[in-house]
Amino acid sequence: MTTETSYALTRPAYIDQSHLVVTDLGLVSGFYQSMLGLKVIEKTTSGEVLGVGGHPLLTLTTAKDAVVAPRNAAGLFHTAFLMPDRTELARWLRHAAHNNVVLDGASDHLVSEAIYLSDPEGNGIEIYADRPHEQWKFHEDGMVAMATQRLDLQALYDSAADAHWDGMAEGTAIGHLHLQVGDIPQADTFYRDVLGLKLMARYPGASFFATGGYHHHLAANIWNSRGATARAENMTGLSDYRIRFNDKATLDAAVSRLDALEISSKKRDGGVFLKDPWGIGLTLSA
């Protein structure tokens, strides 16, 4: 059992937590607990905080005036839960298979092996394990070699050798968030030029951003959401998320760019809160 911190989390900045607005809190929270193995860490008046080993990862809240976001709205494409190693991914797959979890797909991305599904309200989920960083290949321009190939689920399943599963393993984290946005050049301007993330890969209609040579901490695509405008305040789905900086200089540089570009932000929850061009909130903190 590895307790080594995942490579994704040792970079200058990484995704720390995510916040979804849902209509049926009990149903959705129950799914993340039973099917994903997250534990309730805290209950609030409007929701619950779920996580692993006492570390919060996912906040679920509900509101009487919540409006179900249309499929083509800006917001979440998927929340990607990063397993500490391939064995834990295989253990989760066995759990999913034995509990009739409906999978949306599975891919080998060269840098990682990923399984896709959705929660009961249609929020996308990826469960994945990274291949060792030293096996990744990079192009001359510094971008990472990624692809979407078929993942052999049976081989992955068989690799766990009847392993016992009792929830998400210590060290599981949100490895990345994949967003639906309205425009890719605008996403590049915000995530690369304003926040200072590096563009690591491009697919048709999608950009992948990271710090410190990770394959991606954030991705943005227009596959369902081309032309989408800012989200309404009370939409279901991704309300906001937190980027945590291991390196305070990187945080300070991002905050000073916000000020220089006169992008509205405010101090909140021990960090700096702002919204991206599509109304998705994010908190930058060290």
Q: Which domain holds residue 187?
A: 7-285
Amino acid at 126: E
Burial-class residue 187 by CB neighbours within 10 Å (0-12, 13-18, 19+).
buried
218-221 and 173-180 as β-strands: parallel, antiparallel, unpaired? parallel
Tens of pLDDT along 107-135? 999 999 999 999 999 999 999 999 999 99
What is the tally of structural domains in the chain? 1
Rounded Cα gap, residues 69 and 52, in angstroms? 28
Task: Specify the residue for token string 């980027």.
Answer: 243
Amino acid at 241: Y
> Is 1 within a domain?
no
**Predicted local confidence at residue 61, as pLDDT:** 98
Task: Specify the residue for token string 């309300």.
Answer: 239
Tens of pLDDT along 185-220? 999 999 999 999 999 999 999 999 999 999 999 999
> Is 202 within a domain?
yes
Q: What is the pTM of this model?
A: 0.96
Q: What is the DSSP letter of 192?
A: I
Rounded Cα gap, residues 208 and 188, in angstroms? 9
pLDDT under 70: residue ranges of the chain: 1-3
Q: What is the DSSP letter of 185?
A: H
Closest CA to 222 of 20, 114, 72, 18: 72
**Predicted local confidence at residue 3, as pLDDT:** 64
> Is 19 within a domain?
yes
**Predicted local confidence at residue 4, as pLDDT:** 80
Closest CA to 127 of 84, 161, 158: 84
Cα distances (Å, whole numbers) of residue 190 to 9, 110, 139, 206, 263: 22, 27, 24, 14, 10
- The enclosing domain of 70 has a CATH number of 3.10.180.10
Contacts of 93 (CB under 8 A, 6+ apart): 115, 153, 156, 157, 160
> Is 2 within a domain?
no
CB 92 within 8 A of CB 38: no
